[in-house]
Chain A
Amino acid sequence: MFAFIVRRIIQATVVMLVIGFIGFAVKHQLGDPVRDLVGISVSVEEREALREELGLNDSFLTQYGRFLMNAVRGDLGHSFFFKKPALEVIFAKAPATIELVFVSSLIILLVSVPVGLYSAIYPKRFFSRFAMGASIVGVSIPVFLTAIVLIYVFAVQLHWLPSYGRGETVNIMGWDSGLFTLDGVKHLILPSIALSSIMLPLFIRLIRAEMMEVLEAEYIKYAWAKGLSRKRVWLVHGFKNTLLSVITVGGVQLGILIAFTILTETVFQWQGMGFMFLEAVERSDTALLVAYLVMVGALFVVVNTVADIVYGLVNPTVTIASR
């Protein structure tokens, strides 16, 4: 276990280094950050002086070297726009994204498991067919459209839910949370539904397919023959074995969910990391960009590591040490 974790930390470091390098290489193609800092009528010389001051005229290697030196000391650079260390900005924005992803995952879990199981056990019933049809439609609608339709129906037409932002938040040990106020929860509903809509159909279909396959297996037939209760056959023998693939896919998909927060957060003006990233791209706020990429790379590694550990817990035949 210990060796496994150490190996993973080394892997994470390599991933972050590679991402940092790619991010750094890409940033030169993203345009001129100085443009966003000055008015349009400012002269070329003034802009050039500012570029010089910010060290943007140094060679790629000099800049990358400087970046690495600082990164080792935990400094991923300064955001031009926020005028603060990039990491500080990211950590301030992270709670919003994490809460959004958390609630979305919860929705996905609570909906996909019962629906997936039901439609595997009773594939011919009307609800199962409806769920399958709806999931095809759901998987093909882009998230920003879902988001706009949700805003239009529930905020503009019905006035039930707020249309943008996080609402009231409470600060719990430096973590700005919207989960503990009524206003904050209200603001969470639409964005998290929109975000979960990307993954929900996939998980329903995955759970259904896996479950159907498991139900055909010999040991399930044996369980029926032994006269075990239906609940026990379905949940303990059937569902537990479908979980394996769900966890593997889930680990990967959670990362993709984080990627989709970029779109969802922008539509809902949700003040998280995804929105911040998109704005940083538009402003070519390069330090913030690279820092975000490195952080998300690290997050991916962490999520996948956790998925692997959980996998081992569910299926004891797979030992972590041997992987």
Chain B
Amino acid sequence: MKRLKFIALVLVMLLVAGTAGAKTLKLAMDADPVSLDPHVQLSGGMLQYSHMVFDPLVRWSQDMKFEARLAEKWERLDENSVRFYLRKGVKFHSGNPFTAKDVLWTLNRLKKSQDFKALFEPFTDAVAVDDFTVDLKTDKPYALLLNMATYIFPMDSVFYTGKDATGLDKDAIVKTGPSFALTNESGTGPFKVTSREQGVKMVFTRFADYWDKSSPGNVSEIILTPIKKDPTRVAALLSGDVDFIMPVSPQDFKMVEKEKNTKLVTMSGGRIITFQLNQERRPEFKDVRVRQAIAYAVNNSGIVKKIMKGTATAAGQQGPKGYVGYKESLTPRFDVKKAKELMKAAGFEKGFEVSMMAPNNRYVSDEKIAEAVAAMLSKIGIKVHLKTMPKAQYWPLFDERAADIMMIGWHSDTEDSGNFSEFLTMCADKEKGYGQYNSGNYCNKKLDALVIGAQTETDPEKRAAMLQEVEQILYDDAAFIPLHWQHLSWAAKNNVKLEAIVNAQNFPYFGDLVVE
């Protein structure tokens, strides 16, 4: 009898201990993942999801270094290949073991995904040396191989092979219709998706067999609710209905900081906001002095202070600090007198009229920024006809290059300086896909050669020098008007230790989150 009582007592204690350790995190984001298939769309939201349910080979640490995940270590074999040694004893959510086969399978699928195939273009067929060793190969030396490995989230090749109930291949990547991967997942990540009602609620439960036993994370369940409106999201945190919100709108920073039970964390992000001056539509913009005059006329520090309320860093170049191409000396320029002189020298003392377009729901305070810039340009005689519109209407017009000055924000998918130029400032080349978002039609063969050269340069120092020269050329040419890098922001209750899991990529590592 005594023994029975003792056993009962132990059981009760275990139960109590068990529930005490179980933490539920109520998370509110501006949107929920569009699919359970990580390859269906390349977007911040989908990558955030991937980090919860899958694991990459390597991932970025807070100080922009590579951290081992499913790859335990790696070494460069030769110019064109890197060998990855995979972690052993890792299980997928389905129970299948993780091996080199899954890495090859995932890489193949990435090359088929409409969104990822361009990024994985340089990769040729990977080779599995044995079950836990993979050689990733590229067709030419590729400096960003490890950067790309952060996008390889191995999927369970056995689980995703075969036909589903409707006869469709289980590995099909379908953007607008039902598919197996849309509603089923099997990754190696810290969380399993246990319930999902699109646009309403998503529940993640901690995976019992998660390989990373050393992770401090103690969250056993995450309930993700999308809350679209900024004020409502903040109100949900302040009223205690949710524990963690992202993003936080700049005008709500004070409220979150003032409240005793909540805290705010911000970090400089990598998204640059710029204006492009279309040289094909406007011959005036072909004159470097006019472009420089505009660069001098725009007070980006003022915009950061007044409109962004200090939640951005004024920029003088494309890539922010921490990127290899960053050059300390390229600071924002603002000097109206000088701008006027340049306009006079170019023969446009009386100014001219231009059209400008900007989205009004894409970037933080985008409409206000555009209005401010238009007002600043009027001071040097450039009369701006500004039109702003929702992003759904803006992008088709951007593709048409419908205005003389257009706003574009960019975040480098590769977390590397070269990516900015490849999309924004290289000569437009439809075949190779360069300059796809270069609505300014700026074109400089020397710059193109440098950016393309940097792709295959594997010596970090030489590469940095090349990319810094790129920034210098763009600065001297005033190829575009840089405004600022947006900050990232998160807010949570005080007991949520979010500082440790956030990063400049905005992929919070929820698996490692500690809630007290």
Contact = CB atoms under 8 A, between A and B. Distances in A.
Interface of A: 29-32, 35-44, 46, 49-50, 54, 78, 80-84, 148, 151-152, 155-156, 159, 162-165, 266-269, 271, 275-276, 279, 281-284
B247 to A, nearest CB: 15
B108 interface: no
Q: Which 10 residue pairs spanning A and B have beta carbons closest together?
A: A39-B42, A31-B392, A155-B239, A31-B393, A163-B235, A156-B238, A39-B115, A284-B392, A163-B239, A35-B395
10 contacts: A31-B395, A32-B396, A41-B413, A49-B114, A50-B114, A54-B176, A155-B239, A156-B238, A165-B227, A269-B227
Given A44-B436, A267-B229, A35 B392 contact: yes
Contacts, number: 127
Contacts of A156: 235, 238-239
Interface string B87-127: 00000000000000000000000000011011100000000
A199 B180 CA distance: 46
Most buried by B among A40, A159, A279: A40
Interface residues of B, number: 48
Contacts of B240: 159
Contact of A36 (B198, B392, B399, B423): B392
B200 interface: yes
Interface of B: 34-35, 41-43, 114-115, 117-119, 174-178, 182, 198-200, 225-229, 231-233, 235-236, 238-241, 361, 390-396, 399, 413, 423, 430, 433, 436-437
Contacts of A279: 199, 228
Contact of A81 (B34, B238, B396): B34
B435 to A, nearest CB: 11
A281 B391 CA distance: 11
Contact of A31 (B176, B227, B396, B436): B396
B225 A165 contact: yes
Nearest to A38: B115
B200 A271 contact: yes
Contacts of A148: 231, 235
Contacts of A46: 114, 117
A87 to B, nearest CB: 15
Contacts of B118: 41-43
Contacts of B238: 155-156
A164 B227 contact: yes
B232 A163 contact: yes
A38 B119 CA distance: 14
A220 to B, nearest CB: 49
Contacts of B42: 38-39, 41-42
A291 B235 CA distance: 33
Contacts of B227: 164-165, 269
B79 to A, nearest CB: 26
B110 to A, nearest CB: 13
B41 A39 contact: yes
Contacts of B117: 46
B45 to A, nearest CB: 11
A162 B239 contact: yes
B392 A164 contact: no
Nearest to B423: A41
Contacts of B437: 40
Contact of B178 (A84, A282, A284): A84
Contacts of A49: 114
